[in-house]
Amino acid sequence: MAKGKRGVFAWIWFVVWRCLLLLILFLLLLRFMPLSTTAFMLQSPYPVTQQWINIDKLPSHVPMAMVASEDQLFPEHFGVDLNAISKALNQYDDGDALRGASTITQQTAKNLLLWPGRSFVRKGLEAGLAVSLEIIWGKKRILEVYLNVAEFGKGIYGVEAASQHYFHKSASVLTTNEAAQLAVLLPSPRKRDPRNLSPYLRQRVLWVERQMQQLGVGYLKPILDH
């Protein structure tokens, strides 16, 4: 290999590992502090409302509702669901649009550091960041951040702000049914309102509650007690 090419590769490697080191340090810092903003909040076209709430102050059925609705394998995977990704790629090859296939960890990574939209580049970055979060943060912190930065309405981020907006009370006193109502907003939060659910979404709320019962009250206990 020519000396010039070796120099270019050495420079690229130097930049890459420095960027990786900075990313690790940044994620370590975020591991121990409440987050008041994210990349998605900064890109929001609406005024942002968000209030941080410690996961230990939430009843266990609040995180359970989100897991039951969005990612039932959350306690088991390591940031990505390979089966869901494979299925999404097969559907894309068949002519369908590129679908989500995102775990709660991937959604957290996306909300925290990336941008809206769907592309292979963003999905690749999302998956890499998700694995990094699993290593550096662990499940409980990922779930806590997700509950505080997920969008639940136009400019409404986190379960505390959502609970105050829709139910006029803290998320710490949400009922199981109210938690399930918030959970069904997540796929399309800017188009849905728990105070005005369609017949389909009312059935979806009941489905989420049944999934919570089937998973059992202890399903997230090893994570929440960590």
Over residues 12-44, the pLDDT tens digits come to 776 778 888 888 899 999 999 999 999 999 999
Global confidence as pTM: 0.89
What's the CA gap between 174 and 169, in Å, rounded?
8
Separation of alpha carbons 211 and 216, rounded Å: 8
Question: Is 10 in contact with 18 (CB distance < 8 Å)?
Answer: no
pLDDT at residue 93, rounded to an integer: 45
Domain 34-217 has what CATH class?
Answer: mainly alpha
Task: Encode pLDDT of 72-131 as tens digits.
Answer: 999 999 999 887 666 656 554 444 444 456 999 999 999 999 988 777 888 889 999 999
* Neighbouring C-beta atoms of residue 179, cutoff 10 Å: 27
